[in-house]
Structure 1
Amino acid sequence: MTASPLLSLTWVDHITGRRGHLVVDRLVRGVASGGLRMREGCTLEEVAGLARGMTMKEALHYDPESRYVPLGGAKGGIDCDPRHPEAYGLLVRYLRAMRPYVESCWTTGEDLGLTQDLVDRAAAEAGLGSSIQAVYPLLDDEAAARRRLADAFAVEVDGIGLDELVGGCGVAESALAALDRAGLPYAGARVAVQGLGTMGGATARFLARAGLTVVSVADVKGTIANPAGLDVEALLAARDAHGTVDRGVLRPGDRELPGDAWLSADAEVLVPAAVSYAIDATNQEVITARWVVEAANMPVRPEAEALLSARGVTVLPDVVVNSGTNAWWWWTLFGDIGPDADEAFAHTRRSMRALVDLVLTRAQTDGTTPRAAAHAIATDRLPVIAERFGWYR
């Protein structure tokens, strides 16, 4: 991978003075893929790390036999609380300023703090035909591909959109693959999840339906815990648009605890699915879980991961675990799968399980962490992708 990104810029909003960032880490066939996040305190350094992660995610899903051709990696970020009254206008102005990049080389979509519906509405107001229009010239049949993706976004399963569920399906399958390799039965395995938004909520649902017990979930109001198991479906049904649970649905055995209590939950699997940098060198000390499964982007700081690894806690890295959402977009658009939930889940499960097994086997062989193994696999594949498809053409 390149030592520095191909493009790195910071935009300052002329109305609010708030900042937005765009980093294009790498192009393949002239296009890069990566979502747009909005959160208070978002920095250029954060966006650069996420863009590099997208380059890796694309490379890790490279299959020379599939129609989906990996793209380069990119990421956008806006420094604003998405709940702020200024947020939507700021989003529109950011996309209007980034329009030349979205039109030519950057395909983007929802990420932390933003939904796809909101991104689509703001993109239209900013004068864009689509947030992924840069990829259209790479499609064999653009009209058919766009219909297929639109149909897929219209699919709902038990009241939740397919686009919201596939990422959590991939995270859950990653955790299940790790449990299977360790010979740990699903029944009796306990899970704690930070964040019940798009990714965390779907992950909790798939793990609960697989037979695991979700004992703790956290949102902005705090942690909800029950050692006997939470009613995941009731909590999901009681969420607002930002993943905050209405406490009115809690049962007598459910307890309300401080916001960081999920970290020390008595559980085998810990799923940080909310914000970056949630686990640091200090608070990692309270973690007793066997696996930390990174559903969020960059939730574990490097120094914390080193300490966790030293005491036998395995961190399954974000570049593997949460890559299913991005891959599902392209599997659907390029035509590897159709707009069908069962097909999407089956393809996601097969692909994620194969990827996790590959990474964990490489880590075991090399005597390294899963993250180092994933980096090594991506580093091996990037020159192959560049030789076959080129960076810019």
Structure 2
Amino acid sequence: MTTTADGSRQASQHNPLDDARSQLAEAAQILGFEPGLIDMLAVPRREVTVSIPLRRDDGTIEVLTGHRVQHNLSRGPAKGGLRFSPDVDLDEVRALAMWMTWKCALLDVPYGGAKGGITIDPRLYSRAELERVTRRYTSEIMPLIGPAKDIPAPDIGTDEEVMAWMMDTFSVAAGHTVLGVVTGKPASLGGSAGRPSATSRGVVHVSLAALRHVGLDPAACTAAVQGFGKVGRGAARFLAEAGVRVLAVSDQYGGVAHEDGLDVAALEAHVDETGSVVGFAGGHPVDGEDILTADVDLLVPAAVEGVLHAGNAGLVRARVVVEGANGPTTQEADAVLAERGVTVVPDILANAGGVVVSYFEWVQANQAYWWSQEEVEERLAQRMTSAWTDVMNEAAERGVTLRTAATCLAVRRVAEAHRLRGLYP
């Protein structure tokens, strides 16, 4: 398997849907599910692929491709992010939608799982072009989305402004403002306090718990963070605030490290000024892929899926891996890490803070009553801690890894909703 500078996957070499289905199959076998139920859980409930004609700023026309997949609706309306990435394909979106189903069930959020994506490199388009892409995509999937049907949120390559464009496009068609159609919006348009940092905070809550679980004092620990976007950047900041020394970070352009720990606040200022961690004066340059095998206690892969694979899992030196990204560890890497005694906190638990506070935002929008930052963060911490305890207990009871335990818990909850609702003729 080959990787890019930041360790990202090559779609031709790794299909995340294979990993998602393998995880489901393992959990279903442990739970003793019948084949028909497994088949229902393995296949998306609904999916759509749309063409997105775009008039570029120079007047030329380009046609892009977008997807929206609703994996499961048994526990409530679908929920899942929208990503803009050149690597987006339908199987990736299917896998991410399935993981969202398990994530929502694991955190006991009353949603099913969905995901959306457009095959586009947002760095190559102006903001005006991205707005036109977003609005056309929204209009194409409009029959599928809504506060009681499917609620998109930001993901890789998208942000709160993209969510504002989606909300506005949907609202114009509806003839009135519909704040609950998306989450991750700007605060001035019904966004929740604490939503931008929620995924990062959730990652750090379980990172600190996992370090303590393996007998380490977080204040004496070191960490490396692969990916310095919405999740990795906040995770590095909150880890540093908790006393963890962040020795190395990377983004899509390269990496930077310092043996005594990076000044994360200064690094953030550098990234704001230059757009990359590369060239930061407070550290020395390292290859982006080397971040994954850094000599640290904690590794947080927070970029894209498939970065830990059979080719590098044996070189990982961290005691604990906390998956800030969705699906960063392949099935083969999982087996290698488990054999070596590395504790892996799975994505459906580790990065669930975003969907938890998205749920809070949706609740607030439906009530037209907003909570304080303190209330949001307190409720987020409670949800993450409760889910961590549930997964730990399940893992101990069954004698399985944290990933298998988390998947078993989530799949069982979704399957129970399936059974209680029955099968429509």
TM-score with structure 2 setting the length: 0.79
Contact preservation (8 Å) 1:198, 1:243: no
- Tell me if 1:277 matches 2:325: no
1:189 to 221, 227, 252: 221
Aligned residue for 2:163? 119
Alpha-carbon deviation of 1:246? 6.4
Structure-2 change in CA distance of 1:389 and 1:180 (3 Å): farther
Contact preservation (8 Å) 2:166, 2:182: no
1:205-220 aligned within 5 A: 205-220=237-252
Work out the CA distance in 1 between the residues paired with 2:423 and 2:153: 22
Alpha-carbon deviation of 1:215? 0.3
Aligned residue for 2:134? 91
Aligned residue for 1:59? 105
Amino acid aligned to 1:107: I
- Tell me if 1:265 matches 2:309: no
Work out the CA distance in 2 between the residues paired with 1:242 and 1:44: 33
SS in 1 for 2:133: helix
- Tell me if 1:101 matches 2:138: no
Alpha-carbon deviation of 1:380? 2.1
Identity of aligned residues (%): 35
Aligned residue for 1:143? none
- CA deviations 1:305-336 (Å, max 9, x no partner) are 11111111122111111111111121343259
Contact preservation (8 Å) 2:256, 2:277: no
Aligned residue for 1:353? 385
1:35 to 63, 81, 84: 81
Structure-2 change in CA distance of 1:39 and 1:73 (3 Å): same
Structure-2 change in CA distance of 1:6 and 1:353 (3 Å): same
Aligned residue for 1:9? 48
Alpha-carbon deviation of 1:339? 2.4
1:35-184 aligned within 5 A: 35-62=81-108, 70-85=110-125, 87-103=130-146, 105-125=149-169, 127=172, 129-130=177-178, 132-133=180-181, 150=189, 153=192, 155=193, 162-184=194-216
Structure-2 change in CA distance of 1:82 and 1:123 (3 Å): farther
Contact preservation (8 Å) 2:72, 2:114: yes
Contact preservation (8 Å) 1:24, 1:75: yes
Range 324-333 or range 271-280, more displaced: 324-333
Contact preservation (8 Å) 1:174, 1:352: yes
Aligned residue for 2:56? none
Structure-2 change in CA distance of 1:147 and 1:173 (3 Å): closer
Work out the CA distance in 2 between the residues paired with 1:221 and 1:49: 26
Amino acid aligned to 1:182: V
- CA deviations 1:179-208 (Å, max 9, x no partner) are 122221112211100111111111111111
Structure-2 change in CA distance of 1:34 and 1:242 (3 Å): farther
Alpha-carbon deviation of 1:359? 0.9
Contact preservation (8 Å) 2:98, 2:114: yes
Alpha-carbon deviation of 1:391? 9.7
Amino acid aligned to 2:181: Q
Work out the CA distance in 2 between the residues paired with 1:105 and 1:22: 13
Alpha-carbon deviation of 1:285? 2.6
Alpha-carbon deviation of 1:211? 0.8
Contact preservation (8 Å) 1:291, 1:314: yes
Work out the CA distance in 1 between the residues paired with 2:182 and 2:310: 40
2:253 to 193, 209, 221: 221
Amino acid aligned to 1:10: T
Amino acid aligned to 2:114: A
SS in 2 for 1:16: strand
Range 373-382 or range 89-98, more displaced: 89-98
Aligned residue for 1:141? none
SS in 2 for 1:245: coil
- Tell me if 1:331 matches 2:377: no
TM-score with structure 1 setting the length: 0.85
- Tell me if 1:19 matches 2:65: yes
1:250 to 281, 292, 298: 281
Work out the CA distance in 2 between the residues paired with 1:210 and 1:340: 22
Note the residue ranges of structure 1 that are not aligned, 5 or more in a row. Answer: 63-68, 136-145, 156-161
Work out the CA distance in 1 between the residues paired with 2:188 and 2:416: 28
Aligned residue for 1:291? 320
Work out the CA distance in 1 between the residues paired with 2:135 and 2:189: 22
Work out the CA distance in 2 between the residues paired with 1:321 and 1:47: 19
Alpha-carbon deviation of 1:295? 0.5
- CA deviations 1:23-74 (Å, max 9, x no partner) are 1011147621111111112111111111111111111122xxxxxx511111
- CA deviations 1:255-295 (Å, max 9, x no partner) are 11112120121101110111122222112232111111111
Work out the CA distance in 2 between the residues paired with 1:119 and 1:246: 29
Structure-2 change in CA distance of 1:30 and 1:390 (3 Å): farther
- Tell me if 1:237 matches 2:275: no
Work out the CA distance in 2 between the residues paired with 1:370 and 1:300: 13
Work out the CA distance in 2 between the residues paired with 1:266 and 1:260: 13
- Alpha-carbon RMSD: 2.8
Structure-2 change in CA distance of 1:152 and 1:10 (3 Å): closer
SS in 1 for 2:219: coil
Note the residue ranges of structure 2 that are not aligned, 5 or more in a row. Answer: 1-39, 54-60
Structure-2 change in CA distance of 1:87 and 1:117 (3 Å): closer
